[in-house]
Amino acid sequence: MTKPITYAYLETTNYCNLACSFCNRDEVIGPLKHMSLENWGKLLDGIKHHPIQEAKLMGMGEPMLHPQFDEVCRMFKETFPKCKLIVATNCQYNINDKFRECMKYIDMLYFSIDGYKESYERDRSPAKWSKLLKFLEQFKSVDRYDCDVVVNYVVNAYNVQDIKKIDDLRKEHNLGQLRLNIAQIWDAETKMSDDIATSGYTEEDLNYLRENWNEQIMGKSKWDFEDCFWVNNGIYTTVEGHVKMCCMNTGAEPFGNLFINSIDEIRQMTDYQNVKKGCNTNNPTSHCKNCSYKELTPILEYVGI
């Protein structure tokens, strides 16, 4: 039995103004484009019969670079008025009227701030710390409406000791919770152990995380493939309308395209069903090889998640 979609991860642009060290977008994005409002409307029409409860309008690009992102958000909330809409932004631009209009529709906005000064600029090149501070200053005059604005911090082996500084910055600017996400590898061909930034934590680092930031770390340590919600209730779509299983394996071949097939047809296709069955029986297919979320298990267990 195919369950209804309750979670959606929808990409409306793959343009980005950064080249983050932990992102594989250059390997997977294809031609640069913004999704047209016409196609966005078609996509929403194609999934509106599903009871989507939470959606993220993000992907391999910076959402706010879409020239009509305010309309993108408005159309989404018009289609799914009760759905929790989440957007992440890198804060490396000047706030404009489009941004202010978006705030009317977004329920939760992530400010992606990974590191402090030198570590921030290193991992989020060519981001500038000064530009981030300017953005935060401009944001003081923005009407938040009912939007919960939080800080999303990707933890790697090089920025662990900067967390406290960003938490202080968060408090200074009256932002919501600090969310810590242990860095992952977004490519099934690479294991986390192959990359020093995602595997080079010292015992001191892990103890520091466990003793000071346990409650802010996102994730679930006692997780196995049968617990994967993506195969049963999730959807991941690219700016071109391609449907992939999840945001963990962004380099995977798509199962279909929403502008060619219906989402229900795609979810019934043999390849899709095989991946779903593999996870549900704890016997994952090659699609889920080196699942970066599964690889987090020993780290999350150590820090007590």
Each residue's pLDDT tens digit, 62-79: 999 999 999 999 999 999
Q: Does position 147 have pLDDT exceeding 80, yes or no? A: yes
- Estimate to the nearest angstrom the gap between the alpha carbon of 185 and the chain centroid: 13
Mean of all residue pLDDT scores within the chain: 94
Cα dist from 245 to 26, 203, 234, 235, whole Å:
20, 34, 8, 6
User: Would you say residue 255 lies in a domain?
Assistant: yes
CB 138 within 8 A of CB 97: no
Q: Which domain holds residue 161?
A: 7-302
Q: Does position 110 have pLDDT exceeding 80, yes or no? A: yes
User: Would you say residue 294 lies in a domain?
Assistant: yes
Query: What's the structural domain count of the chain?
Result: 1
pLDDT in tens, 152-203: 999 998 999 999 999 999 999 999 999 999 988 666 666 666 665 566 889 9
User: Would you say residue 70 lies in a domain?
Assistant: yes
User: For 227-256, b where at least 16 C-beta lie within 10 A, e where not — what string?
Assistant: ebebbbbbbbbbbbbbbbbbbbbbebebbb
Per-residue confidence (pLDDT) for residue 298, from 0 to 100: 87
Per-residue confidence (pLDDT) for residue 249, from 0 to 100: 87
Count of other CB atoms within 10 angstroms of residue 189: 12
User: Would you say residue 1 lies in a domain?
Assistant: no
Per-residue confidence (pLDDT) for residue 305, from 0 to 100: 87
Per-residue confidence (pLDDT) for residue 184, from 0 to 100: 81
Residue 174: give its domain's CATH number. Answer: 3.20.20.70
Instruction: State both tokens at 57.
Output: 């309008």
User: Would you say residue 174 lies in a domain?
Assistant: yes
pLDDT in tens, 2-38: 899 999 999 999 999 999 887 888 878 889 999 999 9
pLDDT in tens, 196-249: 556 688 999 999 999 999 999 999 988 999 999 999 999 999 999 999 999 988
Per-residue confidence (pLDDT) for residue 186, from 0 to 100: 65
User: Would you say residue 155 lies in a domain?
Assistant: yes
Q: Is the pTM of this model over 0.85?
A: yes
Q: What is the mean pLDDT of residues 265-290?
A: 96
User: Would you say residue 245 lies in a domain?
Assistant: yes
User: Would you say residue 2 lies in a domain?
Assistant: no
Per-residue confidence (pLDDT) for residue 285, from 0 to 100: 96
